[in-house]
Amino acid sequence: MSQEYFSPKGKSPMSQEDADFEDDVSSRSPPSETSPGTNSMTPAYMTVGTGSTSQHAARLQSMLDQDSGYGGSIAGDEVMVHKSYRATTDNDWRAHSGAIHQLWYNQHRVALGRSINRVVELLRELQSFNAKWPAHYPSVQRPDGAPTPLNRSSTRPSFQHTNTMSADFSASGPAPPLRRAMTSLEDQAVAESSRAAENRPAPEPRLVTPQIEQEFSILKLDLKLGSLHQAELVHSLEKSSIAALLDGKISSSLKHLLLLRDRIEDTSSKVLVTGDLNAGKSTFCNALLRRKILPEDQQPCTSIFCEVLDARENSGIEEVHAVHHDSVYDRNDETTYDVFTLQELEKIVTDNEAYTQCKVYVRDSRTIDESLLNNGVVDIALIDAPGLNSDTTKTTAIFARQEEIDVVVFVVSAANHFTLTAKEFIWAAAAEKAYLFIVVNGFDTIRDKERCQKMILDQVGKMSPRTYKEAGELVHFVSSNAIPMAPVPPGGPGGSGSGSGSGGGGDEPGDDDPKGKGKDKEKLRDFTTLEQSLRRFVLEKRARSKLAPAKTYLLNILDDVHRLAEVNEHVARSELERVTKELKEIEPLLESSKRAKAEISDQVDKTIEETCQDVYDTSRRTINLAIEHAGDHTHGVPYPGLFNAFEYAEELKEAMMAEIAASVTLSEEHARERTVKGVNAIKQLGILHLGNEYSDLSFRPDVMFRRKRDSVARQVDIPTELWDFVDWSTLLQRQEKVAGTGMALTLATAVGTQMIGGYGWMNHALGAVRVLGNDNLRRMILPGLAVAALSAAYYILNQIPQSLPHRLNAKIATQLAEMDYAHVNSTRIAGSVRKVLRFPADSLRVGLQRSVEQLDSRRDETLRIKGESEVARKYFSNLVRNSDHERHAVERVDLDAVPPGTIPPTGLGGH
Ligand SMILES: Nc1nc2c(ncn2[C@@H]2O[C@H](COP(=O)(O)OP(=O)(O)OP(=O)(O)O)[C@@H](O)[C@H]2O)c(=O)[nH]1
């Protein structure tokens, strides 16, 4: 499609020069229907009117040809155009003005197209970044966290986001509830002096719910779940869920941007005529066409979209293409549609289930100045939509359709005003398109016209302020049924409709009444004014009707992206500050933890070694002492006399062994005490270095040594012998001290000892006899011997209680020494102590190891977050800059400005 105009069908007579020009242009550029491959980026031009000076037109054409449409040269060209092109006639002027409009339009179209491409790129990057680093969605402050006049100075406005964490930075005031991670607003507040804070106007939370709703238009998350408020939902959702929702929003925005790009690159203009059921949409379309093409009825009849197109787009043939369900319409592929005549349209349109839409190709024989379809500027598609409210599916389809069209003409019944669905539709369309064209139809039925006008305009003002601002151009009160229709060719389509060829509304009585005719004229005049406005809106102000939606959408999405980027830059920066601070804390902590781990391990080993050594030494000393001194006393065992000496010996042995066993128990008791001390020392170390992390193992000292008792003592078996009753060493020592026993006793003892101790006592006795001689012996020794024997016997028997313990003790000691009793028991006791101490020591070691590992992984994690935050900060600060830059670029595209060089010189017409 192209925008060239070749005058054939206009009523205006074509001069030779025009024909030359046409030939001239057509030789370079084929007519619209034969140039489907025209590059949409290369501006196509138009000439409107008769254009009497072809060299001027050609010059302008060549200037436009040279313009790439990408700006730059335009200013110079405009000056040249301005200076050189001096139109002298109205038509020349209009041709000139139209060309400049076109050039100007192309310039804006290309600028916006480029912006769309850049925003698409920005959004795609944001989308992929959001997948790696879930973007934070600004949440709201809960009502309880909102600043009150009293706590204003202490409560800073805070961005809060989806990463729930406990707020550990509350310097004053009560601990705030769990909230989303911090953002730099709070950090900035830290840097602010208290005085400045006091002087600063009381901060309001930047993102409270209504503000979010206003601040975000396109990327606003549509959270309508259950009874939860959006704010609560944002709080309750996981960071990743929010990111996923955002991802969906970005995807749909991308889709929409691509649609917008297609739309602005499409040189045709799509005009959607919509409105409530029976508002007179079809009548209005017919009035525009001045032919009764679309079926009108008092009851709802339009059930599918009817797209009215210039028949030139269908090789000049008037017909209807009814598009099949699930088919994408392609005029060159007849399998996608069925062909009908215009007369058959009514039957396709009413109660249709077989087709989704129909393309209605009609020939508009009116001049290019009058006709909307055949306008000489752009290809128009006039789309008659089913009435809103007909059913939900159709209403939804109309809502969806409005996204891909350029101009919304909303037909409202003057009698019924706007229904709720109409209002919703206008809200949505106004947000997207900025300007709507509103046709208040059936104005003939209204008696108090002024009141009706006021009421409707008030409502328009509320729904679309921009449309209201230009109500003179955009809101029209007409009676579509009063428009005269073209006479029907015999057997041809259309024909005199409601207004019939003579014009005149159906409900106005008396067409021949001069007053009635006057009224009809008035209606026709109103409708013509509407037509001119609509032409201006669709054709000349295409910058508005076609480009304004793109501009509005771009500004909205860039605003959202900018806001989101700002929030995320704050979040990333504060995250970066937080992790940098955290790293500064973690790294020395990790080092000292590693050092502490080694030191504490040594210290614990030392404690264990020292304790065990002490326990061993003490036990050994105690047991040895007990063994050594077990024979020092009789342990309270009464001596029962000579005849029970053996029992006495047994009891003594038992008592001695009990004494020795008691020393073992004493050693165990001491070991227990030392173990308690050791365990406590290790625990102290644990608590000191691990704090709450240290898992305190329950230690019960009373259980120690319960099972592993001294088993060695049971192996001691000392038989009592006769000689045990005589303690010879004591005896000898005592004998020296005892006076009166003298030599004889010594001798007797010596002899006695020999006699008693040896077997050959007889030999010894004979030896003694030989020494002393028989006589002396008889005289001295025998009585002495007797005395000595008696006193020795007496002494020995008397000494049993003193000597027996020593003798037994010596034997016990010998046997215990052979068993290594003291060592075995000391080792056992120290071993138990070691075993017990090893538990808390191992637990401490494990705890320390775990603490080092935890710190290690925390450091790794923090380093990871730091890296990510650094990337995020850079990315979002670039996004803040780029979105801002792009926004300014879009803002500079001034669609409302009058193109320079199009203001008509005095005395010339123009629009
Ligand atoms: N009095 C009067 N009647 C009108 C006017 N415009 C349309 N009508 C009548 O209103 C009825 C409905 O008109 P349509 O054009 O079929 O309405 P529609 O909005 O296309 O209807 P659907 O597409 O089925 O929703 C017809 O009987 C028309 O003649 C008008 O300006 N004044």
Ligand 1 atom nearest the C-alpha of 295 is: 16
- Ligand 1 within 6 A of 376 CB? no
Domain CATH code at residue 305: 3.40.50.300
Ligand 1 atom nearest the C-alpha of 443 is: 31
> What total of structural domains would you count in the chain?
4
Percent of the chain with pLDDT over 90: 19
Give the Å distances, CA to CA, from 858 to 168, 586, 587: 17, 8, 10
- Ligand 1 within 6 A of 30 CB? no
Predicted local distance difference test score (pLDDT) of residue 252: 87
In a mutational test of the pocket of ligand 1, which residue from 288, 294, 296, 389 has the highest number of ligand atoms less than 8 Å from its CB? 296
Instruction: Kindly report the protein residue whose alpha carbon is nearest to atom 3 of ligand 1.
Output: 442
Residue 716's φ and ψ, nearest 5 degrees, are -70, 125
Same domain, 111 and 150: no
Ligand 1 atom nearest the C-alpha of 298 is: 27
Predicted local distance difference test score (pLDDT) of residue 736: 52
Instruction: Kindly report the protein residue whose alpha carbon is nearest to atom 27 of ligand 1.
Output: 298
* Token output for 729: 């060493």
SS (H, E, C) 809-849: HHHHHHHHHHHCHHHHHHHHHHHHHHHHHHHHHHHHHHHHH
The amino acid at 6: F
Instruction: Kindly state whether residue 633 falls inside one of the protein's structural domains.
Output: yes
- Ligand 1 within 6 A of 727 CB? no
Ligand 1: centre distance to CA 499 (Å) = 12
Go through the chain and tell me how many residues it has: 911
Same domain, 479 and 523: yes
Q: Are 784 and 748 in contact (CB under 8 A)?
A: yes
Instruction: Kindly state whether residue 368 falls inside one of the protein's structural domains.
Output: yes
Distance CA 7, CA 374 (A): 10
Give the DSSP H or E segment for 639. Answer: none
Instruction: Kindly report the protein residue whose alpha carbon is nearest to atom 16 of ligand 1.
Output: 296
Q: Are 358 and 349 in contact (CB under 8 A)?
A: yes
Last residue of a domain, one of 836, 851, 866: 851
Give the contacts of 808 (CB within 8 A, at least 6 positions apart): 631, 649, 652, 653, 656, 718, 720, 724
Distance CA 748, CA 796 (A): 13
- Ligand 1 within 6 A of 298 CB? yes
Same domain, 98 and 33: yes
Ligand 1 atom nearest the C-alpha of 506 is: 1
Distance CA 105, CA 269 (A): 13
CA 275, 277, 280 angle in degrees (round to 5)? 70
Same domain, 30 and 160: no
Instruction: Kindly state whether residue 896 falls inside one of the protein's structural domains.
Output: no
- Ligand 1 within 6 A of 480 CB? yes
Same domain, 149 and 123: no
Instruction: Kindly state whether residue 802 falls inside one of the protein's structural domains.
Output: yes
SS (H, E, C) 425-469: HHHHHHHHHCCCEEEEECHHHCCCHHHHHHHHHHHHHHHCHHHHH
Ligand 1 atom nearest the C-alpha of 279 is: 19
Ligand 1: centre distance to CA 414 (Å) = 11
- Ligand 1 within 6 A of 296 CB? yes
Same domain, 110 and 232: no
Same domain, 651 and 786: yes
Distance CA 244, CA 254 (A): 15
- Ligand 1 within 6 A of 233 CB? no
Q: CB atoms < 10 A from the CB of 871, how many?
A: 14
Instruction: Kindly report the protein residue whose alpha carbon is nearest to atom 14 of ligand 1.
Output: 280
In a mutational test of the pocket of ligand 1, which residue from 481, 485, 507, 508 has the highest number of ligand atoms less than 8 Å from its CB? 481
Beta bridge partners of 322: 338, 358
* Token output for 116: 């769309």
Q: Are 339 and 320 in contact (CB under 8 A)?
A: yes
Q: Are 433 and 552 in contact (CB under 8 A)?
A: yes
Q: With a cut of 70, list the residues of the chain below it in pLDDT.
A: 1-95, 98, 138-217, 220-240, 300-301, 351-352, 390-403, 487-519, 543-544, 695, 697, 708-714, 722-724, 726-779, 781, 796, 901-911
Same domain, 238 and 90: no
- Own/partner contacts of 79-84, CB < 8 Å, gap of 24 or more, are 81/901, 82/900, 82/901, 84/59
Instruction: Kindly report the protein residue whose alpha carbon is nearest to atom 21 of ligand 1.
Output: 278
CA 387, 438, 378 angle in degrees (round to 5)? 95
Same domain, 71 and 119: yes
Last residue of a domain, one of 800, 823, 851: 851
Instruction: Kindly state whether residue 905 falls inside one of the protein's structural domains.
Output: no
- Ligand 1 within 6 A of 391 CB? no
CA 409, 253, 468 angle in degrees (round to 5)? 30
Same domain, 406 and 318: yes
The amino acid at 467: T
Instruction: Kindly state whether residue 795 falls inside one of the protein's structural domains.
Output: yes
Instruction: Kindly state whether residue 859 falls inside one of the protein's structural domains.
Output: no
Pairing of strands 380-384, 269-275: parallel
Model ipTM over 0.95: yes
Which residue from 3, 258, 261 is spatially nearest to 109, judged by alpha carbons?
Answer: 261
Instruction: Kindly state whether residue 57 falls inside one of the protein's structural domains.
Output: yes
- Ligand 1 within 6 A of 507 CB? yes
Same domain, 149 and 122: no
Which residue from 336, 446, 318 is spatially nearest to 373, judged by alpha carbons?
Answer: 318
Distance CA 439, CA 507 (A): 19
Predicted local distance difference test score (pLDDT) of residue 13: 36
Give the contacts of 715 (CB within 8 A, at least 6 positions apart): 819
- Ligand 1 within 6 A of 286 CB? no
- Ligand 1 within 6 A of 498 CB? yes
Same domain, 161 and 209: yes
Largest Cα separation within the chain, whole Å, is: 202
Instruction: Kindly report the protein residue whose alpha carbon is nearest to atom 30 of ligand 1.
Output: 442
Last residue of a domain, one of 201, 224, 253: 253
Ligand 1: centre distance to CA 504 (Å) = 15
In a mutational test of the pocket of ligand 1, which residue from 278, 500, 519 has the highest number of ligand atoms less than 8 Å from its CB? 278
Predicted local distance difference test score (pLDDT) of residue 834: 92
Q: 460: domain range?
A: 266-540
- Ligand 1 within 6 A of 138 CB? no
